[in-house]
Structure 1
């Protein structure tokens, strides 16, 4: 059975294993560990977002989504900025 997910590269273990968090409808549904070299070179960093096709728990195809990666990075930074603002500085 072939399934397609959005995946976020959560971390790289020992410089070799990419830990991908697989998502459906905005929710994390599974984790997939793959050799980082099986991912597109531009996606071989933490926080990258990919569209990944999986068959029998093995990645078949992975496409890097740079626009989604950038958007998520900016959203996370905005949340951190809001959280780091002192209560007295808020309107």
Structure 2
């Protein structure tokens, strides 16, 4: 059993975009997670923090874009996203604060 602080280190924040809103129609929620988090860790964190049953967890890593910062080339950070599909009857309201 892990502490709540460790679980909040796994799940950073919910992602609210047009694609994430479309995924919510299929009972899925999208979170930004730690880069070293794996699927069992993400499943345990979501089930413990939100008191829901998780059906599946899919992850995707978005590579950071190369952008110019004040004329110099820089790279944005890589972001790992978790698409968490919930069992039927379970919901998470991401519009309220964690």
Q: Same fold (TM over 0.5)?
A: no
Q: TM-score, normalised by structure 1?
A: 0.28
Q: Which has the higher contact order (CA 8 A, sep 6+)?
A: 2
TM-score (norm 2): 0.27
Per residue, is there more strand in 1 or in 2?
A: 1
